[in-house]
């Protein structure tokens, strides 16, 4: 069993290059990162610096061009699609900027969705997990509603519940407040803070320095590299000149 | 008007802007409309088109207009007519300005006297002198014969050529007028040429020449039919006097008929004849469409095909409607803007409909081209000599245009109304997140697909039933081996053989055939197997009592020695007809099992006697000497009827000879040998046909075969269209749900999960379609009842087969979009647009 403080994510010298129409984009070049179990990490940096790319590699949505990635101590960069789908399903909970609830499914069904991709989970167990997750985000009273009948803040809370339902090792959030007004944004941030207090490991991309403060640790990215805060300020100042 | 032109211009621009959409829609419609046009062209030619004569709508057919090429001797008839009865009707009616008569077609040997042109056998008709006059036909050259050319028997050796024959044989030269030609060896003078396009009054046949009825003894030599009330050989066409209705004509003709029975005509009839026809009513029908026996065979089949092809068009319309739905949702913004700046919805609706009707007309145009090819396939369903007036006329044009416009409104209206339901504000804000919006706005399209599946199941099931019936029909046990016989039919009457000579001829022909290479055994008969000829007689069986003479009818054949052994019919008791059964020996008969069952209540009749119920035969009892196994002899469909086989040599007038040759190897290889032997016996003997029995049997099922094959073809088309529709809708929904697929995969769905989901959705549509479709198909199957053979309208095997076929093909159609869905990059979930 892992204890708090154990390394959950270990990334070494990671690079990601996109090739489009003969143009090479070095989205990540030589990133080192370690996230411990129970940690709450915020990632920030200017637009296009590679935050989403890094998050998608951490979330096994994408594969690195080079470098090593250990999740729970196991190398994952060369797994096949089905194996990665299984790990996404069991170890990772996603929260997206645009909520990404499925319009044809009710709140309940949306939260249940990741559990339906899990083999042999009894429906009673599924129901228990869904209800727990929805209660956790305060949306249990809206089971039968469709996403279009909810406000943005409510949709994002349902999305958080969906990420929680599978009891993942880590929650990954890409600008979870990007589509919300500040009041609703605060509420979601508070929710994440509470989840962290109860032991969740969270990796969140955000632009907003106010929200970054919720995290224990802030990782700054610049042009595909992790940089120290002072260095980032210096680089940003250079860019502005 | 201005608005309309503007609409059309706008519609054209829209169609040009989306060439892919336009191409797919036009192709789909072309298939649907083209199939309709093709079948309608044939329906039009056979059932609707008027003869190219003066005011064809005033012509009335008297008798049974499908009973062309029938001749009957014995009891007088009123569906075809004897010459004396025709004369009575012609001279005493008060409803027609003229009533003409024509005989069945005859094969006529033509000698032009020119050295290089060989004798030729053509199809010609004998017609009354007033024939051309009543029909209102003008000559293309020379003159046409008239009543004065048709007075005394044998006194009018004149011939009118058919236009095509004139062109082909005489290169359209007018120098042929006045020339002599020999018809069946007798000299005739060419007096004129019938106009182009006029093929006679029988649809489906092209007459090479016409001769007056009074020349019958030269065309059918040695017979004198003109004065006999007992030979029925004429079909009649009358031209209504102004103001007379068909109903009045019918009433008047029957009045004349009853008067004739009481007058001179009746005096020539026997008491039996009187009893038979006293209560008959002469039927009339509209004659402008001409007479046709094909019409009887193909009418219901063609109407059924018309129904099936209508369903296919409906399926095609659903596809185009769905394309429009898909496009409409892409045009939401455009429409919202138009509405916002004050366009009125009615005006927009008109614009959309102009566009879809234009699309349909383009489809109709392309379909007409396909139809040309389709019609060529369709005429294959009729016999090879059939010539139908297939050139498209205003009716075909109107049909195609009408069908196109209706189709355009059908597939255009719903998508147009749907589009106009757009709400102005949200569409303009364009804030909807694809995933958060319910996709049920495409529900109608999916509903249509389910309906389409239901319709294609109906079409498939119908085709399945017809194909299985055909298989049952062709594969049944006929009671003998159909693969070992060659059949020939010769017209000895036309060649002038008397009864006595004909009996000798039959023996001579068989003697020659027996020595023909490849032939193992041979015999002859009057009707034989699938020769197109049949006979029936009322009989009297002691101990079998019934009031209705129709209940005492048995079919008959007159057969030569060894008939049963040669054709391979089993004699189950007693003996067959043998060489010892001569004209002078005791009168004997072999009867079939159906006869034993019906007339002898299943008791062994060998040794018992019966008589044929006509004045010449009543005093000549016939002794049953054998029982033959039941066999199908002239129809694959009809159940075996009671049948009597009498010795050919014992009957007074056999009228024709059908030869049967049993062959050792392949029968088709022997056909030409048989033909050669007949010619060697008498080179002037008209040969109706020489063919393998197998081919004759298949020909007898030609209309069933054609119907089954065509419905199978249309079912394939329906299946294809339905699957394209399913594929289209699934592709469209998948394309609109890329993000959803990405999210599902981000949440841990494997590719197989996503594929299974899309296939499941497709299958749900199919299932919905089948839930509606199965009862629909079972209901529709009932319409087919009269077309089926050897299976029920609810045949489970057909149903299961088409269900499996439909489902399999639907799964394949669903798999392509499903695979596309599974290829979505899960990264799209992270992208924010
Ligand atoms: N699929 C792709 N193909 C090509 N280039 C890509 C692709 N995805 C990202 N990039 C490029 O990689 C770089 C990093 O992109 P990324 O989305 O990670 O930035 P980001 O830090 O998330 O920016 P933002 O704050 O605007 O979301 C950018 O230059 C981007 O254009
Ligand atoms: Mg980003």
Interchain CB contacts (distance < 8 Å): A and B: 92
pLDDT of residue B609: 94
For testing the chain A interface, which of B736, B757, B830, B833 should be mutated: the one with the most A CBs within 10 Å? B830
Q: Do A55 and B830 touch (CB under 8 A)?
A: yes
Neighbours of ion ligand 2 (CB under 5 A): A 52
Sort strands B622-628 and B588-592 into parallel, antiparallel or unpaired: parallel
Judged against a pLDDT cut of 50, whether residue B429 lies above it is answered with: no
Q: How far is CA B283 from CA A109, B234, B601, in A?
A: 73, 14, 37
Given B437, B438, B747, which is nearest A89 (Cβ)? Answer: B747
Could you tell me the pLDDT band of residue A1, with boundaries at 50, 70 and 90?
very low
Q: How far is CA B249 from CA B87, B101, B240, B290, in A?
A: 16, 16, 8, 18
What residues pair up with A217 in beta bridges, in sequence order? A41
Summarize the confidence of residues B366-391 as an average pLDDT.
83
Given B438, B440, B746, which is nearest A88 (Cβ)? Answer: B746
What is B568-625 written as a DSSP string? T--EEEE----TT--TTS--EEEEEHHHHHHHSTTS--TT-EEEESSTTTTT--EEEE
Kindly compute the dihedral angle of the four CA atoms of residues B656, B657, B658, B664, in this order, to the nearest 10 degrees.
-170
Given A62, A81, A117, which is nearest B747 (Cβ)? Answer: A117
**What is the average pLDDT score of chain B?**
88
Do B537 and B526 meet the contact criterion of CB atoms below 8 Å apart?
no
Given A90, A100, A148, which is nearest B829 (Cβ)? Answer: A100
Q: Hey, CA dihedral for A145, A147, A148, A152, is it positive or negative?
A: positive
Residue with tokens 């489970």: B796
Ligand 1 binding pocket includes A98 (Cβ within 6 Å) = no
Judged against a pLDDT cut of 80, whether residue B380 lies above it is answered with: no
Provide, rounded to the nearest whole percent, the portion of chain B with pLDDT above 90.
Answer: 56
The answer to whether residue A155 neighbours chain B at the CB level (below 8 Å) is: yes
**Residues in chain B closer than 8 A to A147 (CB atoms):** 435-436
Nearest CA to ligand 1 atom 29: A48
Do A158 and A107 meet the contact criterion of CB atoms below 8 Å apart?
yes
Q: Do A174 and B749 touch (CB under 8 A)?
A: no
Ligand 1 binding pocket includes A16 (Cβ within 6 Å) = no
Beta strands in B326-456 (DSSP E): none
Q: Do A88 and B751 touch (CB under 8 A)?
A: no
CB A217: neighbour CB atoms within 10 A? 12
How far is Cα B8 from Cα B353, in angstroms, rounded to an integer?
Answer: 10
Ligand 1 binding pocket includes A97 (Cβ within 6 Å) = no
How far is Cα A198 from Cα A196, in angstroms, rounded to an integer?
Answer: 5
Identify which of B829, B832, B764, B442 has the alpha carbon closest to the alpha carbon of residue A114. B829
Do B629 and B467 meet the contact criterion of CB atoms below 8 Å apart?
no
Query: H or E segment at A42?
Result: strand A40-44
Q: Do B438 and A89 touch (CB under 8 A)?
A: no
Which pair of structure tokens corresponds to residue B754? Answer: 């996503």
- The torsion angles phi and psi of B708, rounded to 5 degrees, stand at -65, -45
pLDDT of residue B735: 83
Summarize the confidence of residues A151-156 as an average pLDDT.
91
Which pair of structure tokens corresponds to residue A47? Answer: 């637009």
CB within 8 Å of B163: residues ≥ 6 apart: B140, B193, B194, B195, B196, B197, B198
* Residue with the larger pLDDT of the pair A237 and B680: B680
pLDDT of residue B105: 83
The 10 Å CB-count burial string (b at 16+, else e) for B543-553 is eeeeeeeeebe
pLDDT tens digit sequence for B486-519: 999 998 887 888 888 999 999 999 999 999 989 9
pLDDT tens digit sequence for A21-35: 888 999 999 999 999
How far is Cα B582 from Cα A191, in angstroms, rounded to an integer?
Answer: 115
Ligand 1 binding pocket includes A18 (Cβ within 6 Å) = yes
**Residues in chain B closer than 8 A to A52 (CB atoms):** 830
Q: Hey, CA dihedral for B19, B21, B26, B31, is it positive or negative?
A: positive
CATH of domain A7-240: 3.40.50.300
Do B104 and B71 meet the contact criterion of CB atoms below 8 Å apart?
yes
How far is Cα A73 from Cα A85, in angstroms, rounded to an integer?
Answer: 18
Provide, rounded to the nearest whole percent, the portion of chain B with pLDDT above 70.
Answer: 96
Could you tell me the pLDDT band of residue B115, with boundaries at 50, 70 and 90?
low
Beta strands in B470-527 (DSSP E): 485-490, 519-525
Given A114, A155, A178, which is nearest B436 (Cβ)? Answer: A155
How far is Cα B7 from Cα B352, in angstroms, rounded to an integer?
Answer: 9
Do B600 and B608 meet the contact criterion of CB atoms below 8 Å apart?
yes
Summarize the confidence of residues A129-138 as an average pLDDT.
93
Sort strands A225-227 and B59-62 into parallel, antiparallel or unpaired: unpaired
Q: How far is CA B208 from CA B69, B290, B321, B335, B487, in A?
A: 16, 17, 51, 65, 27
* Residue with the larger pLDDT of the pair A3 and B597: B597
Least CA distance to B756: which residue of chain A?
A: A117
Q: Do B748 and A117 touch (CB under 8 A)?
A: yes
Q: How close, in Å, is residue B367 to chain A by CA atoms?
A: 40
Query: H or E segment at A26?
Result: strand A23-36
Ligand nearest to the Cα of A221, by number: 1
Could you tell me the pLDDT band of residue B440, with boundaries at 50, 70 and 90?
very low
Query: H or E segment at A194?
Result: helix A182-197
Residue A224 alpha carbon to ligand 1 centre in Å: 10
Given B436, B745, B750, which is nearest A147 (Cβ)? Answer: B436
ipTM of the complex: 0.90
Could you tell me the pLDDT band of residue B348, with boundaries at 50, 70 and 90?
confident
pLDDT of residue B295: 84
pLDDT of residue A2: 45
The answer to whether residue B441 neighbours chain A at the CB level (below 8 Å) is: no
Q: Do B435 and A82 touch (CB under 8 A)?
A: no
Could you tell me the pLDDT band of residue A5, with boundaries at 50, 70 and 90?
low
**Residues in chain B closer than 8 A to A90 (CB atoms):** 748
How far is Cα B390 from Cα B375, in angstroms, rounded to an integer?
Answer: 8
Summarize the confidence of residues B640-649 as an average pLDDT.
95
Q: Hey, CA dihedral for B712, B718, B721, B726, is it positive or negative?
A: negative
Q: Do A56 and B827 touch (CB under 8 A)?
A: yes
Q: Report CA Rg, chain A.
A: 18
Do A147 and A99 meet the contact criterion of CB atoms below 8 Å apart?
yes
How far is Cα B62 from Cα B75, in angstroms, rounded to an integer?
Answer: 19
Which pair of structure tokens corresponds to residue B105? Answer: 């077609």
pLDDT tens digit sequence for B324-333: 887 777 777 7
Residue B830 alpha carbon to ligand 2 centre in Å: 8
pLDDT of residue B832: 65
pLDDT of residue B546: 85
pLDDT tens digit sequence for B739-771: 899 999 999 999 999 999 999 999 998 999 999
Name the least confident of A64-68, A155-159, B28-32, B435-439. Answer: B435-439
First to last CA, chain A: 51
The answer to whether residue B155 neighbours chain A at the CB level (below 8 Å) is: no
Name the least confident of A140-149, B109-118, B596-605, B671-680. Answer: B109-118
Ligand 1 binding pocket includes A53 (Cβ within 6 Å) = yes
Ligand 1 binding pocket includes A240 (Cβ within 6 Å) = no
pLDDT tens digit sequence for A196-220: 998 899 999 988 888 888 889 999 9
Q: Do A102 and B750 touch (CB under 8 A)?
A: no
**Would you say how long chain B is, in residues?**
833
Q: What is the pTM of this model?
A: 0.84
How far is Cα A42 from Cα B165, in angstroms, rounded to an integer?
Answer: 98
Q: Do A148 and B437 touch (CB under 8 A)?
A: yes
The answer to whether residue A152 neighbours chain B at the CB level (below 8 Å) is: no
Q: Do A52 and B830 touch (CB under 8 A)?
A: yes
Residue A113 alpha carbon to ligand 1 centre in Å: 28
Ligand 1 binding pocket includes A52 (Cβ within 6 Å) = yes
Summarize the confidence of residues B86-108 as an average pLDDT.
92
pLDDT of residue B129: 94
């Amino acid at each position: 069993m892992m204890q708090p403080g154990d390394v959950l994510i270990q990334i070494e010298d990671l690079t990601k290059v996109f090739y489009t129409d003969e143009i090479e984009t070095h989205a990540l070049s030589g990133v080192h990162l370690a996230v411990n179990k129970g940690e709450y990490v915020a990632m920030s940096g200017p637009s296009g610096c590679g935050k989403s790319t890094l998050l998608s590699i951490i979330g096994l949505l994408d594969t690195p061009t080079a470098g090593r990635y250990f999740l729970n101590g196991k190398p994952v960069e060369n797994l096949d699609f089905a194996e990665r789908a299984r790990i996404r399903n069991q170890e990772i909970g996603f929260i997206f900027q645009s909520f990404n609830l499925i319009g044809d499914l009710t709140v309940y069904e949306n939260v249940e969705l990741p559990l339906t991709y899990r083999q042999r989970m009894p429906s009673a167990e599924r129901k228990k997990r869904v209800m727990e997750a929805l209660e956790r985000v305060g949306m249990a009273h809206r089971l039968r509603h469709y996403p279009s009948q909810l406000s943005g803040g409510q949709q994002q809370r349902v999305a958080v519940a969906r990420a929680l339902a599978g009891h993942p090792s880590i929650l990954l959030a890409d600008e979870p407040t990007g589509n919300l007004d500040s009041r609703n944004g605060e509420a979601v941030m508070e929710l994440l803070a509470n989840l962290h207090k109860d032991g969740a490991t969270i990796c969140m991309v955000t632009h907003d320095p106010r929200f970054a403060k919720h995290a224990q640790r802030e990782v700054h990215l610049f042009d595909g590299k992790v940089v120290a805060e002072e260095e980032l300020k210096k680089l940003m100042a250079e860019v502005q000149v | 008007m201005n608005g309309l032109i503007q609409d059309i211009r706008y519609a054209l621009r829209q169609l040009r802007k989306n060439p892919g959409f336009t191409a797919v829609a036009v192709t789909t419609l072309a298939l649907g409309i083209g199939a309709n046009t093709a079948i309608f062209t044939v329906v039009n030619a056979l059932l609707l088109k008027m003869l190219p004569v003066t005011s064809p709508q005033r012509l009335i057919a008297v008798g049974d207009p499908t009973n062309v090429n029938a001749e009957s001797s014995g009891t007088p008839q009123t569906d075809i007519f004897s010459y004396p009865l025709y004369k009575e009707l012609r001279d005493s009616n008060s409803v027609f300005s003229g009533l003409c008569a024509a005989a069945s077609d005859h094969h006529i040997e033509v000698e032009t006297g020119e050295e290089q042109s060989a004798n030729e056998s053509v199809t010609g008709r004998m017609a009354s002198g007033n024939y051309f006059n009543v029909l209102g036909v003008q000559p293309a050259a020379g003159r046409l014969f008239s009543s004065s050319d048709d007075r005394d028997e044998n006194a009018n050796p004149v011939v009118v050529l058919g236009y095509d024959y004139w062109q082909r044989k005489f290169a359209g030269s007018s120098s042929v007028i006045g020339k002599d030609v020999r018809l069946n060896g007798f000299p005739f003078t060419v007096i004129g040429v019938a106009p182009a396009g006029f093929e006679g009054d029988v649809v489906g046949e092209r007459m090479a020449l016409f001769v007056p009825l009074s020349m019958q003894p030269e065309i059918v030599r040695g017979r004198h039919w003109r004065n006999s009330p007992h030979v029925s050989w004429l079909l009649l066409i009358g031209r209504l006097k102004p103001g007379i209705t068909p109903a009045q004509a019918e009433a008047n003709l029957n009045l004349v008929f009853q008067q004739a029975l009481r007058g001179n005509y009746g005096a020539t009839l026997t008491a039996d004849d009187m009893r038979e026809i006293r209560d008959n009513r002469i039927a009339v029908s509209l004659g402008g469409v001409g007479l046709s026996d094909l019409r009887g065979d193909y009418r219901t089949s063609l109407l059924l095909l018309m129904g099936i092809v209508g369903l296919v068009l409906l399926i095609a319309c659903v596809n185009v409607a769905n394309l429009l739905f898909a496009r409409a949702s892409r045009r939401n913004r455009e429409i919202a803007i138009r509405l916002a700046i004050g366009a009125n919805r009615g005006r927009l609706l008109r614009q959309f409909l102009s566009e879809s009707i234009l699309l349909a007309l383009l489809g109709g145009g392309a379909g007409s081209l396909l139809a040309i090819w389709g019609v060529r396939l369709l005429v294959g369903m009729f016999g090879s000599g059939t010539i139908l007036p297939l050139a498209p006329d205003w009716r075909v044009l109107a049909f195609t245009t009408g069908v196109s416009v209706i189709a355009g409104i059908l597939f255009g209206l719903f998508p147009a109304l749907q589009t106009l339901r757009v709400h102005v504000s949200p569409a303009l804000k364009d804030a909807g997140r694809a995933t958060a919006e319910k996709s049920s706005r495409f529900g109608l399209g999916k509903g249509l697909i389910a309906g389409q599946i239901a319709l294609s199941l109906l079409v498939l099931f119908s085709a399945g039933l017809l194909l299985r019936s055909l298989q049952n029909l062709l594969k049944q046990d006929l009671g003998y081996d159909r693969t070992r016989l060659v059949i020939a039919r010769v017209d000895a009457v036309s060649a002038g053989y008397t009864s006595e000579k004909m009996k000798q001829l039959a023996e001579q022909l068989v003697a020659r055939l027996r020595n023909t290479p490849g032939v193992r055994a041979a015999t002859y008969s009057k009707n034989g197997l699938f020769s197109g000829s049949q006979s029936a007689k009322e009989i009297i069986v002691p101990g079998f009592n019934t009031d209705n003479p129709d209940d005492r009818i048995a079919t008959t054949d007159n057969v030569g020695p060894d008939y049963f052994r040669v054709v391979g019919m089993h004699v189950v008791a007693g003996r067959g007809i043998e060489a010892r059964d001569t004209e002078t020996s005791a009168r004997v008969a072999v009867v079939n099992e159906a006869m034993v069952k019906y007339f002898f209540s299943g008791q062994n009749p060998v040794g018992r006697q019966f008589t044929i119920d006509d004045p010449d035969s009543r005093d000549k009892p016939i002794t049953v000497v054998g029982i033959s196994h039941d066999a199908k002899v002239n129809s694959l469909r009809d159940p075996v009827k009671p049948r009597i086989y009498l010795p050919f040599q014992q009957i007074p007038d056999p009228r024709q000879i059908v030869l049967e040759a049993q062959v050792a190897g392949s029968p088709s290889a022997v056909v030409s040998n048989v033909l050669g032997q007949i010619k060697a016996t008498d080179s002037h003997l008209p040969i109706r046909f020489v063919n393998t029995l197998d081919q004759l049997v298949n020909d007898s099922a030609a209309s069933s075969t054609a119907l089954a094959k065509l419905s199978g073809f249309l079912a394939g088309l329906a299946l294809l269209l339905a699957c394209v529709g399913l594929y289209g809708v699934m592709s469209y929904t998948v394309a609109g749900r890329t993000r959803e697929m990405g999210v599902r995969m981000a949440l841990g769905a494997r590719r197989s999960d996503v594929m299974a989901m899309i296939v499941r959705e497709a299958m749900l549509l199919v299932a919905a379609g089948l839930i509606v479709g199965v009862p629909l198909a079972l209901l529709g199957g009932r319409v087919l009842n009269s077309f089926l053979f050897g299976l029920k309208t609810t045949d489970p095997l057909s149903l299961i087969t088409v269900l499996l076929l439909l489902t399999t093909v639907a799964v394949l159609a669903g798999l392509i979009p499903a695979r596309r869905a599974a290829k979505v990059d899960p990264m799209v979930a992270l992208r924010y647009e």
